[in-house]
Amino acid sequence: MIALIAGPSKPPRFVQGLGLPYLAAVLEEAGFEARIFDLYPPSPDTDDPAVLDERLAGAIADAQPEIVGMTIHTPAIVERVRLARLIRERLPDALLVAGGHHPGAEPEDLLRNSDFDLCAIGEGEETLVEIAQRVAGRSRRRTTGWLEGIKGIAYACDDEIVRGAPRTGVADLDSLPMQAHHLLGLPDYAPHPHLGIPSTGLLTYRGCPQRCAFCLNPQGHRVRQRSPSLVVDEMERVVREFGVHGVNVYDNLFGLDRAHSMAVCEEIIRRGPEVIWDCWTAGDLIDPELAERMKAAGCIRVGFGAESGDDEVLAKSHRGFTAAQHQAGLDALHVAGLKTQPFFMIGLPGESAASIRRTVEVAKRCGAAEVALSLLRPYPGTALWQRPEAFGVRIVRGPNFEAYIETGTLPRAAMLDCAQQAGEELKRDGAMKGDFLRWDRYDWE
């Protein structure tokens, strides 16, 4: 049996990501038993991560899986390493597999400094099935080279880190089975804050050709699309079998291929699956006709990667559009009757007090229902992390992959002051309702 651990970094529990339901589905299709364990139960009686981790490790140990898979994102690295240690104490013979953004970017560090046996790099469906086939019938005392030939992995062998050949993403997304929603307990999820009802996620494509400086792209730059009919099949299935009428479309950028996104909308309109949905996009991809069809197809909210109100900062970050373009996209969505939430970041390459001022003014007058503001944090695997000098910045690193950027155009202390002032101004103006993220100093600074 293969245990897959799902869950956010803290309660409450909304929709799960797409990775584990797809992994579980391909494992079941290949004849393996898979179970998805939630990092947090639907209604926890505590929010203490240590207590919840102990309980989860115990539940997994009771199931006696041969393989335990866990998704790891960099901000949660400390917690996931701790959970792996708890599982190892209870299941010394299980194969612990790490997947997700962080293992893909830093496999050697993770393997040397944790209880994980193996990192899956990139899309994991084909990789995990091959791993399960190798594990089947073997003992924990595996022979040297037993993982040889599996693409898209890194593992420790005789005190060395071995990396397999790169694995390309699944070429034909229509060949994948539908997600294993039956393993998620969908009706128990809290209503999604953007949709107001329980929801689940899906993709209309994988991959992204853009090369933004701050972005991780584990699915690669090659775009692969799902047939619109299969996208709507999945919507109809979650309504019919699980009573879920909310869908989060997790495409990197809805509208990236305009014709495909229009076809998805038209298929939804034609078949009427009784769902509402939200998605993520960028302003240069949206025009009035596409916005109108999105609305007609049941889209009610669009998240928007606006990043900055300063064109020079956008260009230095390889964002690929101007502030005027993202405002035009917002305007088209607003005319169509869609709610929007642009996301802005402070601290991008070339950031200055003047560029932050421009961002605040753009955010205040953009007409969105709500804006979000965060301070940029560089992550392993991004172009900023790997080649900071190419962007004219310096990465200052702390423990556990915490880091911040020095832009050379605005000192760190001044950047923090500007970020705090910007957030306070947007909250006073009513444009931002929640707290903005990571404006304060790290403990180690």
Residue 439 placed within a domain: no
Q: Based on the fold, state whether residues 204 and 138 are members of the same structural domain.
A: no
Task: Flag whether 399 is in a domain.
Answer: no
**DSSP-assigned letters across all residues of 193-236:** TTTSS-EEEE-SEE------TT---TT-S--EE--HHHHHHHHH
Contact 154, 108 (CB under 8 A): yes
- Give the pLDDT score at 48: 80
Tokens matching residue 35: 């179970």
d(CA 329, CA 126): 37
Is the bond leading into 187 cis (omega within 30 degrees of zero)? Answer: no
Residues 211 and 283 in one domain: yes
Whether the Cβ atoms of residue 190 and residue 206 lie closer than 8 Å to each other: no
Gap between the Cα atoms of 135 and 10, Å rounded: 32
The helix (H) or strand (E) run that includes residue 3 is strand 2-6
- Do 97 and 227 have their domain in common? no
Q: Is 405 helix (H, G, I), strand (E, B) or coil?
A: strand
Task: Check residue 439 and give its pLDDT.
Answer: 57
Statement to judge: residues 53 and 159 lie in one domain: yes
Identity of the amino acid at 415:
M
- Are 230 and 340 part of one and the same domain? yes
Query: Cβ distance 150 to 130 under 8 Å?
Result: yes
pLDDT tens digits for the chain (445 residues)? Answer: 999 987 655 555 666 678 899 999 999 999 999 999 877 655 567 778 788 889 899 999 999 999 999 999 998 899 999 999 999 999 999 999 999 999 999 999 999 999 999 999 999 999 999 999 999 866 555 666 788 899 999 998 888 899 999 999 999 999 999 999 999 877 667 788 889 898 999 999 999 988 899 998 878 889 999 999 999 999 999 999 999 999 999 999 999 999 999 999 999 999 999 999 999 999 899 999 999 999 999 999 999 999 999 999 999 999 989 999 999 999 999 999 999 999 999 999 999 999 999 999 999 999 999 999 999 999 999 999 999 999 999 999 999 999 999 998 999 999 999 999 999 999 999 888 876 655 567 777 7
CATH number of the domain within which 280 lies: 3.20.20.70
43 inside domain = yes
How high is the pLDDT of residue 242? 92
Tell me how many domains the chain contains.
Answer: 2
Residues 348 and 235 in one domain: yes
In a domain, 27, yes or no: yes
Domain that holds residue 10: 2-163
In a domain, 80, yes or no: yes
Alpha helices per DSSP H over 337-411 = 353-365, 383-386
Whether residue 280 is found in the same domain as residue 131: no
Last residue of a domain, one of 371, 387, 407: 371
Domain boundary among 145, 163, 181: 163
Query: Please, what is the Cα angle at 376 between 426 and 430, to 5 degrees?
Result: 10
Q: How many CB atoms lie within 10 A of CB 219?
A: 18
Same domain, 9 and 102: yes
| Residue 91: inside a domain | yes
Q: Can you give the C-alpha Rg of the chain in angstroms?
A: 22
